[in-house]
Amino acid sequence: MNLKQKQFAGFFLSCAALVGLDQWTKLLAVERLKGQSPFVLIDGVFELTYLENRGAAFGMMQGKQVFFFLIAAAVIAAAVYSIWKMPGDRRYLPLYLCAVSLTAGAVGNMIDRVTQGYVVDFLYFRLINFPVFNVADCYVTAGAAVLIFLILFYYRESDLEPFSFRHRKGESL
């Protein structure tokens, strides 16, 4: 198995494991929280509560399932493209992990949208009245935040050159 095949195998296996964890936690939420009062973990701070979210973050864009599917497909395509173009250098491991995290989050929520028409949310920070969210949302949020940090502060422009769509001198299309 060559390096690129190992990268893709690790990518898909990691995504599958993270999606599995997300789906398992959602299943537990359905089994244990649906129709129940919130399960308080830290009074006034954090609780588990069941919510069927037919929109995006903060309940925006209710019922726009096709739009969410297209966004998830674009995220997955960008992640696969990035892995394909990514050098095997360990310097790119943080970027690789961001691609895994973003893809797993997109797939986890896409599964819910396709199979149920809504996303199961169950994590709630009552202290700041933050919208109810799920494990896949954590993957997307953490992956996006780290990706922004990496692009702004860690990688130089030359480090990101392999991912460019631009045609470089001397290369054939």
| Catalytic (active-site) positions | 121, 137
Q: What are phi and psi of 134, to 5 degrees?
A: -140, -175
- The Cα–Cα gap between 80 and 73 comes to 11
- The Cα–Cα gap between 50 and 41 comes to 14
In total, the chain counts a number of residues equal to 173
Among 113, 131, 111, 133, which Cα is nearest to 122's?
Answer: 133
What's the alpha-carbon Rg for the chain, to the nearest Å? Answer: 18
DSSP of 106-132: HHHHHHHHHHHSSEEEEEEEGGGTPPP
- The Cα–Cα gap between 135 and 45 comes to 18
Among 66, 34, 58, 63, which Cα is nearest to 48's?
Answer: 34
